[in-house]
Amino acid sequence: MKTIILAGGKGSRLAEETSSQPKPMIKIGNYPLIWHIMKIYYHYNIKEFIIALGYKGEEIKKYFLEYRNLKTNLTISFKKKNSIKHHNQKIENWKIHLLDTGELTKTGGRIKQSMNFTDRETILATYGDGLANIDISKLIKFHKSQKKIATITAVRPPSRFGKITLQNNLVTKFEEKPQLGEGWINGGFFVFEPEVADYIENESISLEEKPLENLSKDKQLAVYRHEGFWQPCDVLRDKHLLENYWLNDNPPWKIWD
């Protein structure tokens, strides 16, 4: 099964980071967001990705073109026309399609182009800026059991503020920006049947508007509830939160070894 990653938006609310790179290339630790997302899927044996590029997509192309060289020890022979030998390779068995979907294309258009790039098959999709400890195998199993055209993952939105539990004049528990525990929002991590492309009329349509609305009206949009960790990277505060998780060696989304 293939996964589409929407990686073409400008990320204007993170202008400090995205003036020279697309949002999925923002680094958490030593790795860009898109790497973390791919590792989540790879943990569940999903090895093939279609990355829908747009704004500064060449930066994502450069990263993956150099990925193998950056991840391994090298021997470079200048006598043999700059031949390169890789040593101690510990590299993911990924197949990556880098698809230029246009800088101004909306999310629906990126999905449609990506689905047209493949055979008519069930496909996974997600945003290039959200991390979660979601069980992809359970998501796929749920989708198949519902027999609907599309499945969306609903998540609890993270709080902007710390939560305190009080007893008399004492704080008995403090949680730094916990999940709210109430209300549900779209967390990405979709499963789509080929018919989803028929709901997207053109490239100027956002997936989150008419396509998902019409799927819902037709009773073809199932919802998988993810109660665990989910965190977008929309503003600088989110980036710092994710970095703190990673640097303190307790990132909740790191489900791989």
CATH number at residue 49: 3.90.550.10
- Amino acid code (one letter) for 127: Y
In a domain, 169, yes or no: no
Gap between the Cα atoms of 240 and 245, Å rounded: 9
In a domain, 167, yes or no: no
In a domain, 239, yes or no: yes
- Look at residue 228 in the predicted model and tell me its pLDDT: 93
Provide the token pair at 101: 């979907």
In a domain, 256, yes or no: no
Instruction: Please state the pTM of the whole predicted model.
Output: 0.89
- Look at residue 250 in the predicted model and tell me its pLDDT: 83
CA proximity to 99, closest of 44, 51, 168: 51
Q: Give the 3-state DSSP-derived string for the chain, with helices as H, strands as E and coil as C.
A: CEEEEEECCCCHHHHHHHCCCCHHHCEECCEEHHHHHHHHHHHCCCCEEEEEECCCHHHHHHHHHHHHHHHCEEEEECCCCCEEEEECCCCCCCEEEEEECCCCCCHHHHHHHHHHCCCCCCEEEEECCEEECCCHHHHHHHHHHHCCCEEEEEECCECCCCEEEEECCEEEEEECCCECCCCCEECCCEEECHHHHHHCCCCCCCCCCHHHHHHHHCCCEEEEEECCCEEECCCHHHHHHHHHHHHCCCCCCCCCC
At 117, is the pLDDT very low, low, confident or very high (cuts 50, 70, 90)? confident
- Look at residue 14 in the predicted model and tell me its pLDDT: 82
Q: What is the mean pLDDT of residues 43-65?
A: 96
In a domain, 39, yes or no: yes
Contact yes or no for 231/36 (Cβ under 8 A): no
Q: For the segment 118-159, what is each residue's pLDDT rounded down to a tens digit?
A: 888 999 999 999 999 999 999 999 999 999 999 999 998 876
Q: Considering its fold, how many domains does the chain have in total? A: 1
Q: Which domain, by its residues, includes 228? A: 2-154+183-247
In a domain, 130, yes or no: yes
In a domain, 225, yes or no: yes
* Statement: residue 224 has pLDDT above 60: yes
In a domain, 243, yes or no: yes
Q: For the segment 63-108, what is each residue's pLDDT rounded down to a tens digit?
A: 999 999 888 899 988 877 778 888 877 889 999 999 999 999 999 9
- Look at residue 162 in the predicted model and tell me its pLDDT: 61
Rounded mean pLDDT of the chain?
A: 90
* Statement: residue 181 has pLDDT above 60: no
Q: Which of 163-177, 191-205, 216-230 has the lowest mean pLDDT?
A: 163-177
